[in-house]
């Protein structure tokens, strides 16, 4: 049976009686004299609407004495229909996945008729085209209420249906209007065509500031163009307010910000726990307004956005998530179950490519800048247009890993590796010292040390652990500051 019209009630046959007629007084087992008995249908004829006729209920006034041996019947006579020709509804349909209960025959009916019902139902299922048709048949049959229709009208969805607060759909619906897709185009290249890329950002305040990654807008920062598109399709021109290469954070501002902007609420990344639910929103491979989910897989994960060997790399003590993050998600918000931003999606681990923003797909290892750090950087960029970094005043080896961060023999260009009268010098550190602890974090490399230093503010005092000539010592460093990326 086709279920193509399921959901629209079929009107009753106007020729059908409104109520079953009174059953004849003749005994249903014997046809009335003179009434021709129709020949039985072929046994293998498929009948989509076949139903077993209901057995007639014995008259309670006549004592019923079952015959010891039923007389042979040379010609099978089809059982007459129930009163008025109206068949009974089939057995109730069991719950999805549960085995059907055994059919209970009506009182006084031969048990062998159950097989006839099953055969009829199977025939209907086969004619309807397999198991899908069979399910449709049962759905229609189970709604037969004796009014003359075998089609059930589907129930309508409640008009006031709402997602429960805290569900992914509810959180995403609240956040999506404040997440934007960023198109960055550089100035004309030598070939005459501008290079560009796609990234993500989110509304930071009602003045029209947008927070994103530096690497999303870097190509357009010098002489290029930036456009910001909201989920409703409206686009606005934007300009760079400031960017921090080391933190990989940038702030844009819409040149003509619309009224009614809704900033995303900012959470507290220090209170995030491993296992917390996460939602990432962005434009992976240009697919705007994409929502993915996962959990916080780890915290304080030291990540360099490049190979960790150059001065242009960015470093973060990142939140790790298994929410699917791909190129184009960069700069988008990582949101917790309450709808608050806990990080800025920035980098992925790709097979064979190391950390960074590559065109490889997600393997479930994504990294986000903790929002507490990003918020401090954004505020500084909005205020002055330049980033401020905390420093210890020492040059460390950026290639060795596993033994700590070793203070180099000399700095860049032959300068001292420990800045005279700088924070490290005042703490008593010397070239060759190996820093193994910074605060309560274990340090295994130079990039790890930098990512931890940059989670602090200039002026913070931090206890460090270091090794010199095989001896472990501790000292307290009061962090200095550096303004700008150069």
Q: Catalytic residues, which ones?
A: 215, 248, 330
Residue 280's nearest CA partner among 292, 269, 295 is 292
d(Cα 132, Cα 135) in Å, to the nearest integer?
5
Angle at alpha carbon of residue 197, lines to 192 and 202, rounded to 5°: 140
d(Cα 312, Cα 398) in Å, to the nearest integer?
13
d(Cα 437, Cα 430) in Å, to the nearest integer?
16
The structure tokens 């249906």 sit at 161
Coil, strand or helix: which one is 129?
coil
Task: Decide if 135 contacts 1 (C-beta within 8 A).
Answer: no
| CA distances for 115 relative to 103, 106, 118, 138, 247, angstroms | 10, 14, 5, 17, 75
Q: SS in 3 state form for 244-292?
A: ECCCCEEEEEECCCCCCCCCCCECCHHHCCCCCEEEEEECHHHCCCEEE
Task: Decide if 95 contacts 103 (C-beta within 8 A).
Answer: no
Length of the chain: 486
């Amino acid at each position: 049976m086709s279920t193509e019209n399921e959901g629209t009630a079929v009107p009753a046959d106007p020729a059908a009686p409104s109520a079953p007629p009174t059953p004849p007084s003749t005994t249903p087992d014997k046809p009335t004299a003179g009434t021709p008995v129709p020949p039985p249908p072929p046994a293998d004829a498929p009948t989509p609407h076949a139903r077993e006729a209901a057995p007639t209920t014995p008259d309670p006034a006549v004592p019923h004495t079952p015959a010891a041996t039923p007389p042979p019947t040379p010609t099978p006579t089809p059982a007459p229909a129930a009163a008025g020709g109206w068949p009974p509804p089939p057995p109730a349909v069991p719950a999805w996945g549960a085995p059907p209960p055994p059919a209970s025959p009506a009182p006084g009916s031969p048990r062998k008729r159950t097989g006839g019902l099953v055969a009829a139902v199977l025939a209907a299922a086969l004619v309807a085209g397999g198991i899908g048709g069979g399910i449709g048949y049962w759905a229609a049959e189970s709604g037969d209420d004796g009014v003359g229709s075998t089609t059930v009208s589907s129930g309508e969805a409640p008009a006031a249906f709402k997602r429960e607060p805290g569900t992914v759909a509810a959180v995403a619906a609240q956040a999506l209007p404040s997440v934007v897709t960023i198109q960055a185009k550089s100035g004309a290249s030598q070939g005459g065509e501008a290079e560009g890329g796609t990234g993500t950002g989110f509304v930071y305040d009602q003045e029209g500031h947008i927070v994103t990654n530096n690497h999303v807008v870097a190509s357009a920062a010098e002489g290029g163009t930036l456009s910001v598109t909201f989920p409703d399709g409206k686009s606005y021109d934007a300009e760079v307010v400031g960017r921090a290469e080391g933190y990989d954070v940038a702030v844009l501002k819409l040149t003509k910000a619309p009224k009614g902007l809704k900033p995303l609420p900012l959470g507290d990344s220090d209170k995030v726990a491993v296992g917390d639910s996460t939602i990432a929103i962005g434009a992976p491979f240009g697919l705007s307004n994409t929502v993915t989910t996962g959990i916080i897989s780890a915290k304080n994960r030291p990540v360099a956005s490049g190979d960790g060997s150059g001065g242009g790399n960015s470093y973060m003590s990142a939140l790790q998530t298994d929410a699917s993050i791909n190129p184009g998600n960069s700069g988008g918000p990582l949101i917790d179950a309450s709808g608050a931003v806990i990080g800025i999606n920035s980098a992925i681990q790709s097979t064979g490519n190391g950390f960074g923003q590559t065109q490889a797909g997600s393997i479930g290892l994504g990294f986000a800048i903790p929002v507490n750090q990003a918020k401090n950087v954004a505020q500084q960029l909005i205020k002055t247009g330049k980033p401020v970094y905390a420093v210890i005043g020492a040059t460390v080896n950026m290639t060795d890993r596993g033994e700590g961060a070793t203070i180099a023999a000399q700095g860049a260009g032959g300068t001292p590796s420990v800045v005279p009268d700088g924070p490290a010098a005042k703490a008593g550190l010397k070239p060759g010292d190996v820093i193994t602890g910074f605060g309560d974090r274990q340090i295994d490399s130079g990039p790890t040390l930098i990512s931890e230093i940059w989670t602090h503010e200039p002026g913070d005092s931090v206890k460090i652990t270091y090794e010199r000539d095989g001896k472990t010592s501790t000292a307290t460093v009061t962090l200095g500051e550096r303004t700008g990326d150069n």
